[in-house]
Amino acid sequence: MERNSPTNTGGKGTGRPRKPDPSIYSQMRRKALETPLPNVPRDAVHQVLMDWHVGKGTVTVVAAADGSASVYLSSGGGFIGGSQKFREIRDAALHAVALATSLKFHFEWTETTPLPSLGDVTFYIVTAVDVRVSVAPEAKLRAGADALAALGGAMQRIVTEYRLRFPAKPSAWKAV
């Protein structure tokens, strides 16, 4: 379902904006948490997710071992597919997956994948075998005082790369 443009643009050449659908957020997030990638070893990191609160909603950034990267907004907007067109987005995703792999020991196995509490940032590592979670206080991440600060920065780099490549949709970026 990757596309080279924001998810809130018109479909199939209509040129008309599509109204964001908040139900898409939970569907896309759930798919990233539940779907292993083909051709990736079972116990390797397939996807990394970072969830955090912004404004009145939540943002989820996804980086995958195949180099794909997405940004989902709980408002129903978001960005997918940029890594197919822009090397910088792909490189940012691969860097985030490599960092997450090196930080696996900071994550615990989980059966549930709730959104973070206010003031926290939740990271998930997805393999074909399990899902692991780690929660960090947003203030400590911003200050670089948490073991996951580098991973948080790598995931934020994905957001930055999308912003640089899709600046024409500022309304979608208001919340991020």
| Tens digits of pLDDT across the chain (176 residues) | 333 344 443 344 334 456 678 889 999 999 999 999 999 999 999 999 999 999 889 999 999 999 999 999 999 888 999 999 999 999 999 999 999 999 999 999 999 999 999 999 999 999 999 999 999 999 999 999 999 999 999 999 999 999 999 886 555 555 55
Q: Please give the backbone phi and psi of residue 48, each rounded to the nearest 5 degrees, phi first.
A: -125, 135
- Asked whether residue 174 is domain-assigned, the answer is no
Q: Please give the backbone phi and psi of residue 158, each rounded to the nearest 5 degrees, phi first.
A: -60, -45
- Asked whether residue 89 is domain-assigned, the answer is yes
Domain total in the chain: 1
Cβ(159)–Cβ(172) below 8 Å: no
- Asked whether residue 176 is domain-assigned, the answer is no
Q: How far apart are CA 107 and CA 101, in angstroms?
A: 10
Residue 11: per-residue pLDDT: 40
Question: Tokens for 54?
Answer: 């912004």
- Asked whether residue 153 is domain-assigned, the answer is yes
Residue 176: per-residue pLDDT: 58
Q: Structural domain of residue 130, as residue ranges?
A: 5-169
- Asked whether residue 175 is domain-assigned, the answer is no
Residue 22: per-residue pLDDT: 85
Question: Tokens for 28?
Answer: 């896309």
- Asked whether residue 77 is domain-assigned, the answer is yes
